[in-house]
């Protein structure tokens, strides 16, 4: 459970998705998805493999176009944006890749400085140094500044990946399977870090996962996705209190497999 009260503005919808459809030929992946995400909220999208979670995220950042429906992110209608407008939007929507996506030939510090230098022309070396130190401190890994990614554990790589997204101070963080492939203790650390980011930087987050513990610990609200639809939404305890057969099935699946 969170040891702080999230600062959520329920009047401010930073993501508004309405009746979204997306198919690939005869594969009807999204079949009428609607979702509001509020400023400062951590929302978890829970669903089994292949239900369309990644397709949804790609539509949110304009990497895929929907067949129909509306997608508004930070006040912009995403499908209508030009390429330069999309690039601008993507600076405000940070995507945390599953593997951290670090450059193996650069030190941790260089990996963190890279997006900052590329996206902030004219930034001084002093400012870069200060921002790198701040995000490294935020993820609890100040001591790794001069290390190479190959010297880090899987959990540390994830943390540095999160720091690299965070350094551009996005309004929205998208976490793709943040705890996949990690041992339970490291999972707990990553879950705590996701909450710490919410608390310290007041970001809005979408967390895609099939890890129920991650959903429970990080999510202010959960949506459960099945076959391209949201079959349930609400706080974790409310969703999983349900006697709905589809929800039980998901719950059992998590513990059996």
Ligand X SMILES: Nc1ncnc2c1ncn2[C@@H]1O[C@H](COP(=O)(O)OP(=O)(O)OP(=O)(O)O)[C@@H](O)[C@H]1O
Extended strands (E) in 111-171:
none
Distance of CA 178 to the CA centre of its chain: 8
27 binds ligand X (CB under 6 A): yes
53 binds ligand X (CB under 6 A): yes
181 binds ligand X (CB under 6 A): no
**Measured distance CA(206)–CA(226) in Å, rounded:** 17
24 binds ligand X (CB under 6 A): yes
Q: 74 to each of 21, 151, 205, how far by Cα in Å? A: 21, 38, 13
54 binds ligand X (CB under 6 A): yes
Extended strands (E) in the chain:
9-24, 27-39, 42-47, 68-73, 76-77, 93-96, 172-176, 204-209, 221-226, 229-234
Let me know if 7 is exposed, middle or buried by CB neighbors in 10 A (0-12, 13-18, 19+): exposed
Q: Please identify, using beta-carbon distances, which residue of 51 and 204 lies nearer to ligand X.
A: 51
Q: Report the residue from 15, 35, 52, 167 that binds ligand X according to the rule CB under 6 A.
A: 52
Q: Please identify, using beta-carbon distances, which residue of 51 and 203 lies nearer to ligand X.
A: 51
Q: Please identify, using beta-carbon distances, which residue of 61 and 132 lies nearer to ligand X.
A: 61
Residues 80-119 interacting with ligand X (rule: CB under 6 A): none
253 binds ligand X (CB under 6 A): no
Angle between helices 125-138 and 184-201 (to 10 degrees): 130
Supply the minimum distance, in Å, between the C-beta of residue 80 and ligand X. 21
Supply the minimum distance, in Å, between the C-beta of residue 54 and ligand X. 3
Supply the minimum distance, in Å, between the C-beta of residue 247 and ligand X. 17
- Do 104 and 148 meet the contact criterion of CB atoms below 8 Å apart? yes
50 binds ligand X (CB under 6 A): yes
62 binds ligand X (CB under 6 A): no
Span interacting with ligand X, options 50-58, 74-82, 213-221, 242-250, rule CB under 6 A: 50-58
Report the 10 Å Cβ neighbour count for 84. 8
66 binds ligand X (CB under 6 A): no
Span interacting with ligand X, options 44-52, 77-85, 126-134, 164-172, rule CB under 6 A: 44-52
Angle between helices 125-138 and 154-166 (to 10 degrees): 130
How, if at all, do strands 93-96 and 172-176 pair? parallel
Span interacting with ligand X, options 12-20, 52-60, 114-122, 239-247, rule CB under 6 A: 52-60
Interface with ligand X (CB under 6 A), residue total 11
Supply the minimum distance, in Å, between the C-beta of residue 225 and ligand X. 7
User: Which parts of this chain interact with ligand X (CB under 6 A)?
Assistant: 24, 27, 29, 47, 49-55
């Amino acid at each position: 459970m969170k040891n702080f009260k999230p600062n959520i503005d329920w009047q401010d919808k930073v993501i508004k998705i309405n009746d979204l459809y997306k198919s690939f030929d005869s594969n009807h992946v999204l079949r009428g998805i609607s979702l509001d995400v509020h400023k400062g909220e951590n929302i978890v999208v829970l669903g089994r493999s292949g239900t369309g979670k990644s397709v949804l995220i790609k539509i949110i950042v304009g990497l895929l176009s929907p067949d129909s429906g509306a997608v508004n992110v930070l006040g912009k209608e995403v499908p209508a944006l030009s390429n330069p407008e999309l690039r601008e939007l993507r600076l405000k929507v940070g995507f945390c890749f599953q593997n951290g996506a670090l450059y193996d030939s650069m030190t941790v510090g260089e990996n963190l400085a890279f997006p900052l230098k590329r996206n902030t022309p004219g930034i001084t070396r002093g400012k870069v140094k200060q921002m790198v130190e701040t995000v490294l401190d935020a993820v609890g890994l100040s001591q790794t500044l001069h290390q190479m990614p190959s010297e880090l554990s899987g959990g540390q790589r994830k943390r540095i990946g999160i720091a690299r997204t965070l350094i551009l101070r996005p309004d929205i963080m998208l976490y793709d399977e943040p705890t996949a492939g990690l041992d339970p203790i490291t999972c707990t650390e990553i879950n705590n870090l996701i909450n710490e980011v919410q608390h310290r930087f007041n970001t809005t987050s979408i967390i895609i996962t099939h890890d129920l513990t991650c959903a429970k610990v990080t999510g202010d609200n959960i949506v459960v996705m099945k076959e391209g639809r949201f079959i349930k939404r609400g706080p974790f305890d409310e969703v999983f209190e349900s006697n709905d057969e589809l929800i039980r099935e998901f719950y059992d699946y998590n513990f059996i497999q």
